[in-house]
Amino acid sequence: MATGLPPLLAIAFLISTLLPLPISLAGEIASIESVPDLQKLMYVAVDGYPCVRLLNLSGEIGCSNPGLSKVVAPIIKLKDLKDVAEPHTVLVTADEMEDFFTRVSNDVSFASKIGGVLVESGSSFQQKLKGLSPDKMFPQAEFSPYKNADYKWNPTASSIMWKAYNFPVYLLSESGISAVQEFLSKKEMKHKTFTSHVAEFNMVMETTKAGTHNSEVCLQEGSCLPLGGYSVWSSLPPINVSSSNNRKPIVLTVASMDSASFFRDKSFGADSPISGLVALLGAVDALSRVEGFSNLKKQLVFLVLTGETWGYLGSRRFLHELDRHSDAVAGLSDTLIETVLEIGSVGKGLSGGTNTFFAHKTRVSSTTNMTLDALKIAQDSLASKNIKILSADTTNPGIPPSSLMAFMKKNPQTSAVVLEDFDTKFVNKFYHSHLDDLSNINSSSVVAAASVVARTLYTLASDSNDASNSALGSIHVNASFVEELLACLLSCEPGLACNLVKYYISPTNTCPGNYAGVISGEPSSKPYLGYVSDVSRFLWNFLAEKTSVQEGNTTSVCSKGSCSKTEEVCIKAESNKEGTCVVSTTRYVPAYSTRLKYNDGAWTILPQNTSDSMGMVDPVWTESNWNTIGVQVYTVQHSAYDNAVLVAGITVTTLAYIGIMVAKSFITKALKQD
């Protein structure tokens, strides 16, 4: 019997050498009490922001899984991506981003190595980067009212957001960066020979699945939706819509609420354009405390547009609705608009203790000069605040990219001024980048712009040239309100969960993405509020309250969002069980391409109209539908290891069989001898 032990020991030794199974979870096994516990241990969900597939009439941009299933690829740092045999998930830092995507577009061999991309970013990169703007040097030049479309307004541009990438791209959040770094550090500590750390991307786009690769086809097949949303306008004081008598000239003040970036839900747009929006709201708040607006010579109207990043959807649709005299613009008339003041990027005006802004005018006219004079009066009345308003360089080809371009294309005789924090080129080196966040602007610059705008508008409405006017001197912007609003619209903490926003609405999201999004359902001036973004609903309620009057100093309650009088609107109905009826002229205006028509639950593209010069160059942007988007990382065994296990198993089985047969023969002989 003793002579049978060596074969068995040999088998045991062979098993131990061929199957080096490191139990990496040994210290954690005791904590696993259920299948979900095991899943959490094996699969690490990664938080972040996706790049998604967008389409236009001529093709696609953005990112998507290349096929109909999830992408699983080993993780590797960009510097280590050399001679790899299979596509990998490449870990790219923000300072490598532009060069990386430019090379992908220009080098097919390099692009074939890319299975997916994880982008590491953060505030530290803002200091070290000279610039990161994925947009073009002249954004939306096709809509320019002048011919010099090669002018470089945005000198840090790379244009990488306007290319199509047939692999998933995901910007890691701070927690996502920590999760991936911790995951990869475990790999380095354990030195596993037979495993790989992989990223799994669930970013399948419906247009990829349906094979619909432009806006016209995907709208026909229902695999995409048009970009757009709802703009908001309001008048101070309210307009008597039922009467067309004694209508005053209109001073229209414009700002935008939407931005863009390479990553769908990381488009804060702090300087461009949210600083201008906040300045406008700060000015409205200040003007709401001024008495006697009904006695002034001109009517103030505030217009906040969405969809401007994608072919000036908001401004073009607003002008189109004016032509149609639709309910969305009831009380307004394009013939009554005397001048337009747009508030653009105003978050970076502070330099050397002085806030400097530049007035870019559309054309030379007495009305434009009137607006420039009003800006000068406002500046002089704020002499102690160190604010300068300068005229833009006359060598500029025209106004910078702004909503005024749509107004100018519609009517070249428009008298208008856009206020910006730059002269000949953008000072925002992160224009339309995920890095254009709250840390990229200065709140005192926004407060200064709001102060100038508030006093300029009062001067225009009163038609007064007296900088020492006591009423003008009494208009003060609440700096604390501006700072609170910036925190609400440009951060995730508190974000839209801030008290200011919750006072008016019940937000569905905490983080304000500021991406235009898609327009759902039938466009209407009285839309289903579930189809209206949090920011649009907040703006509607805020402007309705600040520009309202109450009849007889009494308030009435609205229970289901409606009021008994036609001139009244119901505000704060979301945040309270019962809203309040106030007299206000505040309206939603659908924002979507003038080339689109909604009929019987579907979108169709209208034929080109030669009389609509902007429609002729309209790309008609859409976003692919998608079900879920997510990324997780986990460890997988190499196929070589699986093959080794198989060979070892076969070898062990064979040797065991031989051992048994040898032992059996030995035992049989031993028994016969006995």
DSSP secondary structure, 213-248, as one string? -SHHHHHHHTSEEEB-EEEEEEEES---TT--TTPP
What per-residue string of b and e applies to 40-71 under the rule 16 or more CB within 10 Å gives b?
Answer: eeeebebebbbbbbbbbeeebbbbbbbeeebb
Residues 257-263, mean pLDDT to the nearest whole number: 97
The H or E element spanning position 650 is helix 639-673
Long-range contacts formed by 181-184: CB under 8 A, 24+ apart: 183/44, 183/633, 184/75
Which residues are 255's β-sheet partners? 304
Amino acid at position 620, single letter: V
Instruction: Identify any residues that bridge with 389 across adjacent strands, giving them in sequence order.
Output: 357
In the numeric block, which tokens belong to residue 222?
Answer: 């229902």
C-beta separation of 286 from 481 below 8 A: no
Residue 448: closest CA among 251, 234, 278: 278
User: pLDDT over 90 for what percent of the chain?
Assistant: 73
pLDDT for 674 equals 60
> Is residue 74 over pLDDT 90?
yes
pLDDT digit string, tens, across residues 17-41: 444 444 344 444 446 666 566 566 6
Residues facing residue 90 across a β-bridge: 76, 117
Average pLDDT of the segment spanning 440-463: 96
User: What's the pLDDT tens digit per position in 597-652?
Assistant: 999 999 999 999 998 899 999 999 999 999 989 999 998 876 666 676 778 788 88
Are 493 and 174 in contact, with CB atoms under 8 Å apart? no
Contact 431, 386 (CB under 8 A): no
Q: Are 468 and 376 in contact (CB under 8 A)?
A: no
Q: In 107-205, which residue ranges form alpha helices assigned H by DSSP? A: 108-111, 123-128, 174-190
pLDDT recorded at residue 119? 97
CA dist list (Å): 474 to 297, 299, 455, 467, 468: 19, 20, 9, 12, 10
Write the DSSP assignment of 556-589 as a string of letters: EEESSS--SSTTEEEESTTTSSSEEEEE--EEEE
pLDDT digits (tens, 9 = 90+) for 187-221: 555 555 567 889 999 999 999 999 999 999 999 99
pLDDT at 106 over 90: yes
How is 196-216 classified by DSSP, letter by letter?
Answer: EEEEEEE---HHHHHT--SHH
Overall average pLDDT of the 585-589 stretch: 97
- The CA R_g of the chain, rounded to the nearest whole Å, is 32
End-to-end Cα spacing for the chain: 13
pLDDT of residue 575: 74
Q: For residue 408, is pLDDT > 60?
A: yes
Residue written as token pair 């805020």: 542
Which residue type does 358 have? F
**Of 646, 605, 630, the residue nearest 46 (C-alpha):** 630
pLDDT given at position 307: 97
**How confident is the model at residue 15, as a pLDDT?**
47
Residues forming beta bridges with residue 114, ordered by sequence position: 88
| Three-state secondary-structure class, residue 185 | helix
Rounded CA-CA distance 254/297 in Å is 20
Phi first, then psi: give them for residue 308, nearest 5 degrees.
Answer: -70, -30
* pTM exceeds 0.75, yes or no: yes
Rounded Cα gap, residues 34 and 32, in angstroms: 6
* Preceding peptide of 273 cis, ω within 30°: yes
